[in-house]
A and B are shown apart, each in its own frame.
Chain A
């Protein structure tokens, strides 16, 4: 309506006018999001964690402690002014190691989910749209993958590939997709039946257009919400591999291997395990809360609730 009064001057103004509806939806979504204190808390946690991950290595007090330094004279110190989270059995600063491990966790989490989502969404989309035999093949494979109890498959795979971060990441990535495949397939089956998909075909849209323009964007919310909630679990899975010793290898810091290490000194030197555990807990919690909030934010039809 503003156009009749004064023509938009800049490209930004024109863009804002063309996308007024999306912007107002976004504003409304943000409002809904902001009304929910828990999702705000989740966002806050994730942002702080991300900040720590990105900048952590530049300001930690003992960067050398993540690279292989040992200070046997300083081992098993309880938390104090120099070592906020105490030191471990090799005299390394637990605080430094926990902070630096945050970055590793984020990196690995992103890669795992990136790979898993690419595989899962592609397979799910094919299964959901094409149906028939391809669907049967893909979905039965997915079922088989999902019958393995949680960490078992990545564990076996990681062990076979050898120790270290890259094998662990690879193992988790290629076993993480079935959840997304299932989700996308189910969403596709649901969206495919909507009238607007028949409508797109009726105006002569190609299959590619129907999938990419009409079906997939409408499954996006579910994918983003699941990814957000999953991020924490991916980090947890990586830590689990570290815990049993086939994930990230010392001296590189990893929450899982730190907890495993500290277990030997429990309950006396409780700080070695407790602080990485606490960080992990907060991170998983943060992503879960954020995921809940994102659902409210992204649903285009949720104007009134």
Chain B
């Protein structure tokens, strides 16, 4: 495993000392060379989770095991070395690039910081990286605002790749882009992975993108993983009511797939209150509920296919002590 998260938790203390468990006891493992999808809606804690991995946000508890070493025990100096290998591509290509730096400076900065290259060698590496991500060398002296969203995202990718990282965390890399441009960026990501042997952690709310890029995925709801497994299992046999609802709610381009006539989730995760006991999804759950739903928090248990795990009493009737 390249990266393993063990019981990772982040508690934010909001105003009035109210505690918010943004990430709640998340464990997952990403093998080298794989693409792992982290799916969730707003408020699911997926971005917090992503930023905890290179410790841009400090975890409250749990372990981040990268190549066998627990990053939580690393000093700031050791972390700087690790951050060369773990890079993030941010969601918003308009705010993720310093508006006062040229493309050359932006892409070359990581090399400068880590004293990997300077002068002509730095220049050469920057230009060749621009080519790798499909930008023209002539554009190296331009400022970010002169580029379209898709091109900026390419700059962001070039900046992330120049240190030859092993793990690339992609935080909603295409959600701010138009469809026609999204396709270009997704294909670029596939191509780069093949050529450079990268491992991706893809964070998104778009199930189509997850299916297109990922080998395995985890669905996050209110900070916790509710379903996890190989991509085919999740799409063909979604076992958590939340997963099923999300899949149902993607508006299909086929007018015959009538989405509007189906009834799915009620309300949203902000207006429905989960008291902290029982299943966190129970207040919105459209499925038939058993008593345990509101009293016992369902564990993330393995289904018949051991790699496919789901946190739902209905999927594990024996664990809940009731027949469904």
Q: Which residues of A line the B interface, CB within 8 A? A: 1, 3-4, 17-22, 25, 194-196, 198-206, 209, 213-214, 217-218, 300-301, 303
List chain A residues, Cβ under 8 A from B256.
none
Is B75 on the interface with A (CB-CB < 8 A)? Answer: no
In the bound assembly, the distance between CA atoms of A204 and B163 in angstroms comes to: 11
User: 7 A–B contact pairs at CB < 8 A?
Assistant: A21-B142, A195-B91, A198-B56, A199-B96, A199-B159, A204-B113, A300-B99
In the bound assembly, the distance between CA atoms of A196 and B142 in angstroms comes to: 17
Residue in contact with B141 in the complex, picked from A21, A201, A205, CB distance below 8 Å: A21
Given A21-B146, A195-B91, A213-B98; 5 other pairs, CB 8 A cutoff: A199-B88, A203-B163, A204-B79, A205-B109, A300-B99
Contact present for A204 and B141 (CB under 8 Å)? no
In the bound assembly, the distance between CA atoms of A195 and B51 in angstroms comes to: 11
Contact present for A195 and B110 (CB under 8 Å)? no
Report, as a range, how many residues of chain B touch the other chain: 35 or more
In the bound assembly, the distance between CA atoms of A183 and B164 in angstroms comes to: 39
In the bound assembly, the distance between CA atoms of A22 and B142 in angstroms comes to: 8
List chain A residues, Cβ under 8 A from B56.
198, 201-202
CB proximity to A under 8 Å, residues B195-210 = none
CB distance from B36 to the nearest CB of A (A): 18
In the bound assembly, the distance between CA atoms of A20 and B139 in angstroms comes to: 10
Q: Which residues of B line the A interface, CB within 8 A? A: 51, 54, 56, 79-81, 83-84, 86-88, 90-92, 95-102, 109-110, 113-114, 138, 141-143, 145-146, 156, 159-160, 163
In the bound assembly, the distance between CA atoms of A246 and B143 in angstroms comes to: 51
Residue in contact with A218 in the complex, picked from B96, B99, B146, CB distance below 8 Å: B99
B114 to A, closest residue via Cβ: A204
Residue in contact with A203 in the complex, picked from B97, B100, B159, CB distance below 8 Å: B159
A18 to B, closest residue via Cβ: B141
Residue in contact with B145 in the complex, picked from A194, A206, A217, A303, CB distance below 8 Å: A303
Contact present for A204 and B95 (CB under 8 Å)? no
Contact present for B80 and A204 (CB under 8 Å)? yes
A221 to B, closest residue via Cβ: B100
Contact present for A195 and B113 (CB under 8 Å)? no
List chain B residues, Cβ under 8 A from A201.
56
Given known contacts A21-B141, A198-B51, A203 and B98 CB-to-CB distance under 8 angstroms: no
Contact present for B141 and A20 (CB under 8 Å)? yes
Contact present for A19 and B141 (CB under 8 Å)? yes
Contact present for B113 and A214 (CB under 8 Å)? no
In the bound assembly, the distance between CA atoms of A22 and B84 in angstroms comes to: 30
CB distance from B44 to the nearest CB of A (A): 19
List chain B residues, Cβ under 8 A from A214.
98
Contact present for A203 and B109 (CB under 8 Å)? yes
A199 to B, closest residue via Cβ: B96
Contact present for A1 and B138 (CB under 8 Å)? yes
Contact present for B83 and A21 (CB under 8 Å)? no
Contact present for B83 and A203 (CB under 8 Å)? yes
Contact present for A202 and B88 (CB under 8 Å)? yes
CB distance from A14 to the nearest CB of B (A): 11
In the bound assembly, the distance between CA atoms of A123 and B99 in angstroms comes to: 24
List chain B residues, Cβ under 8 A from A1.
138
Contact present for A199 and B90 (CB under 8 Å)? yes
Given known contacts A203-B87, A204-B83, A196 and B96 CB-to-CB distance under 8 angstroms: yes
A197 to B, closest residue via Cβ: B98
In the bound assembly, the distance between CA atoms of A302 and B81 in angstroms comes to: 37
B51 to A, closest residue via Cβ: A198
In the bound assembly, the distance between CA atoms of A140 and B87 in angstroms comes to: 38
List chain B residues, Cβ under 8 A from A200.
98, 109
CB distance from A43 to the nearest CB of B (A): 23
B89 to A, closest residue via Cβ: A199
Given known contacts A21-B143, A205-B113, A300 and B96 CB-to-CB distance under 8 angstroms: no
Contact present for B109 and A202 (CB under 8 Å)? no
Given known contacts A20-B141, A25-B143, A198-B51, A300 and B100 CB-to-CB distance under 8 angstroms: yes
In the bound assembly, the distance between CA atoms of A204 and B77 in angstroms comes to: 9
Contact present for B99 and A202 (CB under 8 Å)? no
List chain A residues, Cβ under 8 A from B163.
203
Contact present for A300 and B143 (CB under 8 Å)? yes
A201 to B, closest residue via Cβ: B56
CB distance from A188 to the nearest CB of B (A): 14
A214 to B, closest residue via Cβ: B98
In the bound assembly, the distance between CA atoms of A31 and B298 in angstroms comes to: 64
Contact present for B100 and A217 (CB under 8 Å)? yes
In the bound assembly, the distance between CA atoms of A80 and B235 in angstroms comes to: 94
Contact present for B99 and A301 (CB under 8 Å)? yes
Residue in contact with A204 in the complex, picked from B84, B98, B142, B143, CB distance below 8 Å: B84
